[in-house]
Structure 1
Amino acid sequence: MEPCDTDLLVGWVRDQRRLTSLRLQRDRNGLRLAFYGRTSTVDFQDRASSQAWQREVAECVVAGRGEIVVEFFDAGYSRRLPWADRPEAAALLAALADPGRAFDAIVVGEYERAFFGDQLQQLLPLFHRHRVQLWLPETNGPLDLTDPAHRALLLMLGAQSRREVLRARHRVLSAMRAQVLEQGRHLGGRPPYGYRLVDAGPHPNRAHAMWGRRLHRLDLDPVTAPQVRWIFAQRLAGMSVASIARRLNERGVPCPSQADRRRNPHRHRGIWTVHTVASILANPRYTGRQVWNRQSTDPVARPGRVGRRRVVQRWNPIHEWVISKMIAHPPLVTERDFVAVQNIHAARPTQDGRFRRYQLAGLIRCGLCGRRMDAHWVHDRAGYRCRHGHTTGHPRQPGQAKNVYQREDHILAAISTRLAALGIDQAPPGTDAGTSHHPTRLAELLRTHRMTIVCDHTGWALTPNLPTTSGRSHEIMIA
């Protein structure tokens, strides 16, 4: 009976494995090296060609002195990411701890492709602990930290790698700023709710145009644009954000994630929320002007994970936004109405002409869910409440915890009494001691010491602790 094709393939693989083992044994006196390379993007760089030239450079470095036996190559990861956050680099670091690893040293095709800033200095102790050499094209061999020239070269390469990134970043951001400001160009990303992307002609760069690249611009979506107009009209008429969200849910209007499922496959809730409506009302692109740099991303260290970072998104201050000088797409709201909607959020007088003041705004957190408690005016006095994430934009969930509510005057009185009993000076330096019990003074004291009031249905606590006149610290519980 003749062997099947699968048996032939298995036998061929076994033979190749034996030949490889014999070849490694024959070259056992040579150094075994792991090659590491990287390319930043996969859309604008060819991985195969980038990997090939880096591997060729590395092979020239080790020629006659060793052989590359294993390869690690990251594609689509920035050099600014630590090695622990690049999949292939992380796999290489994990392989270092294996006593039976297949390599004795590491070689890279280019320093700037592998390291950024002082990343190498952070990795060198790990390499040294596992007795793994690092070979660089710039040193034409292994890195020797006992050589002053190598140490100086290492500092120069790190600074050069950082400088290259910063220069490229500055050029790109400056170009994007000019394109938005002067041309009103759409720079990519998903269109806001109420708009769709349409063709805007060939790319202005002739080389890009020859490759078939085209520009896009925002145009009105006939299905969702009327909903955006309705949202702004209701807000201008005095309806609350929560009421708008509730009305949209009652009418069965698909929320943004449901209206564009292709770009939102990760969102499954399918209802309008207060945050969704507030985001639409705060988006200046509905005035017809192109706006850029409203948000940015920053790498932040992950707690308890040395060298690893996560990318977080943050809102930039309004003065950093870039707004086009011209109308770039059809508006859904006038600039006058948009500004009027933003001013609704500002402090405004009540019907009797007075302004409502909340002395402890931002200082009180719920002990049940950890959220910052909302300022709430009830019975002509300031108070604070927490509804544990519930809003009137959607029904309350069964079994949800009871709301936490406390009056501001009760909180301030309890804090003042308790601080005095602990011997804590409540008067800021340079102020009259007689004014120390004023609500504004107490709030300033809490902010100065970065204290937070944590409460639940049973009592209050101030955290962190404040030092007393005796030098000891106390947990300040306020029943």
Structure 2
Amino acid sequence: MEYQDRSTSRAWQREVAESVIAGLGVIVAEYFDVGCSRRVPWVRRPQAGALLAALSATDRGFDAVVVGEYERAFYGEQLTRLALMFRRHGVQIWLPEAGGPVDIGSPEHRALVSVLGAQSQREVLRSRHRVLAAMEAQAREQGRYLGGRPPYGYRLVDAGPHPNRAHAGWGRRCQRLDPDPVTAPHVRWMFEQRVAGRSVAGIARELNERGVLCPSDVDPDRNRHRSGGVWTLRTVAVILANPRYTGRQVWNRQRTEHSDRAVTRRLNPAGEWVISRALAHPALVSEAEFVAAQQVRAARPTKDGGVRRYLLAGLLECWLCGRRMDSHWVHGRAGYRCRHGYSSARPRSSARPKSVYVRDDVLLSQLVEFESELGGHDVDDGDVRSRVAAIVAWLKAAAMVIVHDGTAWEFATG
């Protein structure tokens, strides 16, 4: 926890650990992670990862690891998986709940570890539910700023004492968003241009030509994970799709997913966003202008007033670079392409691989021919497009994509 007394927590955990090994050994090294959730795998915790790396060292100086409290160290089945690694290196794991070393081969200890893991998981889930429910209410009813990087075009200003008396007594204060005099005009200009029908690429290209600093260059301390330098299509598109510019607070736009390899942040569906009932900060654009910008992005009308439809939009992935292919109208027919990250918002690179193009009608015909590869699902007889519509529905339901290299394709998990 951000406001947890770390020195106190460390002291009582060490005291518990010392009582477990009293008269049997001494502590020769400490591995104490700060600011890491127990849900994070050990390999991605700084101190826990260092401990795992030390297991294979010939001069590690210890033959057992004693834990101050199970819930502070493990989550779910983590201990069961780690115990095998510790056993391979001849290192025991001692728990205060077990009164000494843990023997995963013992039915009693396996049951104990299973109960402790479930208890640790339950504690996290209960705390998470309470916190998320409170944050949802604070965002919707109070319009409170709940942390994170301020959107491009805004800065953080003081919003008075914290509404919780205890927090206020400790000197904590609230913050809110306020227009940044330097970057707010660029946001307003982007929306004006988009509502007028200008492409996202055209907006990004002009920003680059005018030398306007992109978000990661304006605030590098909060954007250390980004390289910066230029405006990209995605940067402009994300700004144009952010309803916080209407003056309303928005929460739960994205979620964080943990795995053994990395932390991934994904955008939640718009229906799951929590939007404040009342205005929470000064607006940079009106709600009508924001809605108009979204309609321009979604409709993409043609010169004759029609709207082009692409059945496989979002379902094609480039085999070469792993990007999703763009829907593309060329020579009077639908198709898909991948330019491997190149867009008209940036200069062309001579080292860029050749673009991949896939004709819509050709791929649709091939999909119908290979219906049997889709697991025997039912597809009604009819024309090609109606049959493919059923295939597309199956792909979406199964979270599958079509990986294409320009000549051949295969199905893969999305």
Compute the TM-score of the two structures, normalised by the length of structure 1.
0.77
Match of 2:283 in 1: 331
Deviation of the 1:139 alpha carbon? 2.6
Which of 292, 295, 304 is the matching residue for 1:343? 295
The 5 A counterparts of 1:3-402 are 41=1, 43-98=2-57, 100-144=59-103, 149-265=108-224, 267-300=226-259, 308-347=260-299, 350-402=302-354
SS at the partner of 2:342?
Answer: coil
Deviation of the 1:402 alpha carbon? 4.1
Equivalent-residue separation in structure 2 for 1:369 and 1:108 (angstroms): 44
Q: Which has the higher strand share?
A: 1
Worse-matched range after superposition: 217-226 or 68-77: 68-77
Letter in 2 for 1:198: V
Inter-CA distance 65–321: structure 2 relative to 1 (3 Å threshold):
same
Q: 1:461 aligned to 2:413?
A: no
Equivalent-residue separation in structure 2 for 1:200 and 1:70 (angstroms): 44
Deviation of the 1:382 alpha carbon? 1.6
Deviation of the 1:151 alpha carbon? 4.0
SS at the partner of 1:67?
Answer: coil
Mapped contact 1:451–1:462 kept (Cα < 8 A): no
Count of matched residue pairs: 408
Equivalent-residue separation in structure 1 for 2:19 and 2:367 (angstroms): 73
Match of 1:441 in 2: 387
Deviation of the 1:412 alpha carbon? 4.3
Mapped contact 1:242–1:391 kept (Cα < 8 A): yes
Deviation digits for residues 218-241 of structure 1 (CA, Å, limit 9, x no counterpart): 111111111111111111111111
Match of 1:23 in 2: none
Equivalent-residue separation in structure 2 for 1:48 and 1:423 (angstroms): 62
Letter in 2 for 1:272: W
Deviation of the 1:288 alpha carbon? 0.3
Mapped contact 1:364–1:455 kept (Cα < 8 A): no
Deviation of the 1:49 alpha carbon? 2.4
Inter-CA distance 155–386: structure 2 relative to 1 (3 Å threshold):
closer
Equivalent-residue separation in structure 2 for 1:222 and 1:356 (angstroms): 40
Mapped contact 2:245–2:284 kept (Cα < 8 A): yes
Equivalent-residue separation in structure 2 for 1:370 and 1:60 (angstroms): 53
Deviation digits for residues 59-103 of structure 1 (CA, Å, limit 9, x no counterpart): 112212332233322222211122222232233333333455422
Deviation digits for residues 179-233 of structure 1 (CA, Å, limit 9, x no counterpart): 1111111111221111111111111122222222111111111111111111111
Gaps of 5+ in 2: none
Equivalent-residue separation in structure 1 for 2:352 and 2:93 (angstroms): 58
Deviation of the 1:365 alpha carbon? 4.1
SS at the partner of 1:215?
Answer: strand
Deviation digits for residues 231-286 of structure 1 (CA, Å, limit 9, x no counterpart): 11111111111111112222222222222234335544422211111111000000
Mapped contact 1:359–1:440 kept (Cα < 8 A): no
Mapped contact 1:384–1:408 kept (Cα < 8 A): yes
Deviation of the 1:454 alpha carbon? 1.8
Inter-CA distance 344–152: structure 2 relative to 1 (3 Å threshold):
same
**Percent identity between the two aligned chains:** 61
Q: 1:431 aligned to 2:383?
A: no
Deviation of the 1:147 alpha carbon? 6.0
Equivalent-residue separation in structure 2 for 1:400 and 1:130 (angstroms): 47
Equivalent-residue separation in structure 1 for 2:96 and 2:403 (angstroms): 58
SS at the partner of 1:75?
Answer: coil
Deviation of the 1:377 alpha carbon? 1.8
Equivalent-residue separation in structure 2 for 1:446 and 1:284 (angstroms): 30
Equivalent-residue separation in structure 2 for 1:363 and 1:319 (angstroms): 21
Rg: which structure is higher? 1
Equivalent-residue separation in structure 2 for 1:127 and 1:401 (angstroms): 46
Equivalent-residue separation in structure 1 for 2:355 and 2:35 (angstroms): 47
Deviation of the 1:445 alpha carbon? 4.3
SS at the partner of 2:134?
Answer: helix
Worse-matched range after superposition: 200-209 or 361-370: 361-370
Equivalent-residue separation in structure 1 for 2:74 and 2:373 (angstroms): 52
Deviation of the 1:348 alpha carbon? 5.7
Match of 1:26 in 2: none
Letter in 2 for 1:313: R
SS at the partner of 1:338?
Answer: helix
Inter-CA distance 340–53: structure 2 relative to 1 (3 Å threshold):
same
Worse-matched range after superposition: 440-449 or 216-225: 440-449
Mapped contact 2:102–2:109 kept (Cα < 8 A): yes
Letter in 1 for 2:184: A
Worse-matched range after superposition: 380-389 or 189-198: 380-389
SS at the partner of 2:328?
Answer: strand
Q: 4+ runs of 1 displaced by more than 6 Å?
A: 422-425
SS at the partner of 1:247?
Answer: helix
